[in-house]
Amino acid sequence: RVPATMNAFELISTSQGLNLSSLFEK
């Protein structure tokens, strides 16, 4: 459940597309 009080950017920053650490996984 996503509470309506959550900050939009906090949610957005969970995107897999923004998680560059996967570039380092061989």
Partner 1 sequence: MGCFQSKVTRQYPGHEDPITLASQTAFSVSEVEALFELYKSISSSVIDDGLISKEEFQLALFKNRKKENIFANRIFDLFDAKKKGVIDFGDFVRALNVFHPNVSQEDKMTFAFKLYDMDGTGFIERNEVKQMLIALLCESEMKLADETIEAILDKTFLDADINQDGKIDIAEWQNFVSRNPSLLKIMTLPYLRDITTTFPSFVFNSEVDEVAT
Backbone torsions φ then ψ of 20, nearest 5 degrees? -75, -5
Q: How many residues interact with partner 1 (rule CB under 8 A)?
A: 23
The residue count for the chain = 26
**Rounded Cα distance, 19 and 25, in Å:** 12
Q: Report which secondary-structure segment, H or E, holds 10.
A: helix 8-12
Task: Pick out residues in 1-26 that bind partner 1 (CB under 8 A).
Answer: 2, 4-24, 26
- Kindly state the smallest distance separating residue 1's Cβ from partner 1, in Å: 9
In the complex, the smallest distance separating the C-beta of residue 14 from partner 1, rounded to whole angstroms, is: 7
Binding site for partner 1 (CB under 8 A): 2, 4-24, 26
